[in-house]
Structure 1
Amino acid sequence: MIAFLFPGQGSQFAGFLHTLGGATPHARIAETIEEASDVLHIDMLSLDRADALTSTVAVQLSLLVAGVATVRALQDEGIEPDAVAGLSVGAYGAAVACNAVSFSDALRLLQLRAQLMENAFPHGYGLLAVSGLRERELNTVIANAHAQAAYIANLNAPRQIVVAGADADLDHVREYALKAGARKAERLAVSVPSHCVLLDDAARELTEAASKITFHTPSVPYISNRGARPLRQADAIRTDLATNLRYPVRWHDSTIVLGELGAQVFVEMPPGRTLTQLAEDALPNVAKVAIEQISIPSAAALIRARSGG
């Protein structure tokens, strides 16, 4: 069983769309980038410049395009997923990969999502990654820091958790977390307070927009962000995509669920290899392949070898 994983915001780097597929890009990658540019009337290749990536809109759209382009190229090489999961914005790529929503509709809905997030908090907010504390310990840290606008956002691993909130509150949480024994507490390259109650209004508006889009029964299980469980109905995936910006992402639990479903290989879409590293800690006996600046044929051969196909 092959599970496709789609990374979230923070994995991007300048020029990552230009490096998809390695030194010899697959034809489907260029086609997908061109398709996205036509749908949104934007030159997608302009969105991965360092200055452009300061925009939440540019980052999120670029990540979706990178994921879908890679999926299509792998499919041309005969590699299909048996389950999909995406962290935060990565859920949109996962939904396209399991045929729950069209690429064009996902692009438009994601563009609105990113705009709502950016407009709600244009500055003064972000994310803090804390390593070495468990959820309950970090909740105690937040309370002791008297942080009025700081919330658990991503549970990436039992002791790797992301906090969302206002800059000043995140500074206090960082200070108290290190005093409480955290190994590391660092700000992420994300300028909005994702996955918390601060985005409640945005989630309501996005839910209204999603209600006007056609969703389909997924071809393979889609693991939800909010509940970390397999979703097999169109409306359930619609709700997950529309509301995941408002609720914490239980990524570690999602990884465990994929293992319980029988995943033999985790394939991480570009950019980066964060999800591969998290999966290695959670399920060391499951094979992993990160499609990071390697050719699609080489990646496909590696996936086949590790899945026994």
Structure 2
Amino acid sequence: MLALLFPGQGAQSDGFLHRLPDHRAVTETLAQASETLSVDALTLDTGRALDSTVAVQVGLTIAGVALTRALADEGLTAQISAGLSVGAYAAAVSCGAIEFAHALMMVRRRAELMEAAYPSGYGLAAISGLSEHEVETLAAQHANDVRQRVYIGNVNAPRQIVMAGANDALDAFIARALAAGARKATRLAVSVPSHCELLAQASDELLAYSRDLPFQRPNSIYIGNRGGRPLYTADAIREDLATNMRDTVRWFDALTAMREMGASVLVEAPPGQVLTDIARENFPDTTALAASTLPFDRLVPTIRKRLERN
């Protein structure tokens, strides 16, 4: 069973849209995005453009849908789709729950709301080597000692946790985590405090905005962000997309659910490979491929061979 994984903010890099496969479906996807957004999609991945949360989130959605369509043109359609954070929007398109143009409109609004809520001074930090419970305990101690709150934003793996908060709070928490035995603690290339209660109001506004966008029952499996479980109705997917900015993303639970449901080949859409690395480390019996690391004319036969093998 084929599962497509879509990375979240932080996976972007200068020129990532220009490195998408030279494929008819990619060209058509870029053209549709440009028409929908009234901007040349290929201007969204420059170094300067990527300073904008809006450009990053829209660009990642375009990349994910472009890869999905290119694979579908080659006869490879995912039975399961899942995306981390903003990657969930491409996953929702992949499973047929929302049209691409509507997903782009919702993503753009999402990013605008997030950026307006916290235009500067906030972000994310990745902590490796500590469990969720250990990080949660440290966060409580941190709040008590220095009156600075940080929040668990993502549980990507049992010992890979992403924290959200103000820059000075995150920097101080990094030092605390390293002193407590974290193997690694670093800031991420994200300028908003994603997946915590700081974005509750923005999430409510996005949910209201989404009510005017048509959603459909998915035609394949969609794995949600908040619970890490499959969602089967249009309204459930709408709510997952609108509210995942304020709730912890339980990516490891989602990955576990995919494996339990029979996913044997996981393919990560461009531009990242973080999700691939997580899958390989925690589920070594599963084939995990990062599309950005293989030429498209090698990716397609590789996926086919691995599916046949499994």
- Aligned partner of 2:142 in structure 1 is 145
Q: Does 1:67 align with 2:64?
A: yes
Q: Which runs of 5+ in 1 are unaligned?
A: none
Q: Is the 8 A contact 2:122 2:192 kept in 1?
A: yes
Q: Does 1:235 align with 2:235?
A: yes
Q: Is the 8 A contact 1:252 1:282 kept in 2?
A: no
5 Å-filtered alignment, 1:169-180, equals 169-180=169-180
Q: Does 1:109 align with 2:97?
A: no
Residue 219 of structure 1 and its aligned partner are, at CA, apart by 0.8
- Rounded Cα–Cα distance in structure 2 between residues aligned with 1:171 and 1:7: 24
Q: Is the 8 A contact 1:86 1:94 kept in 2?
A: yes
Q: Is the 8 A contact 1:11 1:271 kept in 2?
A: yes
- Rounded Cα–Cα distance in structure 2 between residues aligned with 1:272 and 1:202: 27
Structure 1 residue identity aligned to 2:17: L
Q: What secondary structure, in the 3-state scheme, does the structure 2 residue paired with 1:308 have?
A: helix
Q: Is the 8 A contact 2:157 2:251 kept in 1?
A: yes
- Aligned partner of 1:257 in structure 2 is 257
Task: State which drifts further: 43-52 or 294-303.
Answer: 294-303
Q: What secondary structure, in the 3-state scheme, does the structure 2 residue paired with 1:305 have?
A: helix
Please list the CA deviations of residues 108-156 of structure 1 after superposition, one character each: whole Å capped at 9, or x if unmatched: 0000000000010000000010001111111111122225331000000
Q: Is the 8 A contact 1:144 1:176 kept in 2?
A: no
Q: Is the 8 A contact 2:155 2:248 kept in 1?
A: yes
- TM-score, normalising length: structure 2: 0.97
* Aligned-CA RMSD value: 1.0
Counterpart among 19, 28, 33 of residue 30 in structure 2: 33
Q: Which runs of 5+ in 2 are unaligned?
A: none
5 Å-filtered alignment, 1:192-203, equals 192-203=192-203
- Aligned partner of 2:163 in structure 1 is 163
Please list the CA deviations of residues 175-223 of structure 1 after superposition, one character each: whole Å capped at 9, or x if unmatched: 1101100011100000000000000000000000111111111011100
Q: Is the 8 A contact 2:139 2:149 kept in 1?
A: no
Structure 2 residue identity aligned to 1:152: I
Q: Does 1:207 align with 2:204?
A: no
- Rounded Cα–Cα distance in structure 1 between residues aligned with 2:174 and 2:72: 43
- Aligned partner of 2:223 in structure 1 is 223
Residue 295 of structure 1 and its aligned partner are, at CA, apart by 3.1
Q: Is the 8 A contact 1:20 1:293 kept in 2?
A: no
- Rounded Cα–Cα distance in structure 1 between residues aligned with 2:66 and 2:171: 38
- Aligned partner of 2:52 in structure 1 is 55
- Aligned partner of 1:292 in structure 2 is 292
Q: What secondary structure, in the 3-state scheme, does the structure 1 residue paired with 2:292 have?
A: coil
Q: Does 1:83 align with 2:80?
A: yes
Structure 2 residue identity aligned to 1:34: A
- Aligned partner of 1:122 in structure 2 is 119
- Aligned partner of 1:247 in structure 2 is 247
- Aligned partner of 2:279 in structure 1 is 279
Count of residue pairs the alignment pairs up = 306
- Rounded Cα–Cα distance in structure 2 between residues aligned with 1:2 and 1:75: 12
Residue 30 of structure 1 and its aligned partner are, at CA, apart by 1.3
Residue 168 of structure 1 and its aligned partner are, at CA, apart by 1.2
Residue 293 of structure 1 and its aligned partner are, at CA, apart by 4.9
